[in-house]
Structure 1
Amino acid sequence: MIAYLLIKLSDWIEHAEQDRRDAYIAMAKDLAEIERRMVHLDANA
């Protein structure tokens, strides 16, 4: 039971992090800024 909860919690955290990254990239105003943000996220991963 504990293992199941830990897996579900991990999945939820991963999904929330991906949503946060998507929102950060979506706020970019042009293609160059999208690329900068993607590089920034990759460098900090």
Structure 2
Amino acid sequence: MITYLLGKLGEWLERAEQRRREAHLSNAKDLADIERRMNYLDRNA
């Protein structure tokens, strides 16, 4: 049961992180801004 709950918690955290990253990228003004933001996320992951 604990293993199942930890697995579900991990999935939830991964989805939350993905939504945070997508929100950050969606605020980009242009292609260069998207690239800067992607590089930032890659370096600070």
Q: Do the structures match in fold with TM over 0.5?
A: yes
Count of matched residue pairs: 45
The alpha-carbon deviation at position 36 of structure 1 amounts to 0.1
Task: Structure 1: state its 5+ residue gaps.
Answer: none
Distance 1:42 1:18 in 2: 13
User: How large is the RMSD of aligned CA atoms in angstroms?
Assistant: 0.3
Share of identical aligned residues, percent?
Answer: 64
TM-score (norm 2): 0.98
The structural deviation recorded for 1:22 is 0.3
Unaligned runs of 5+ in 2: none
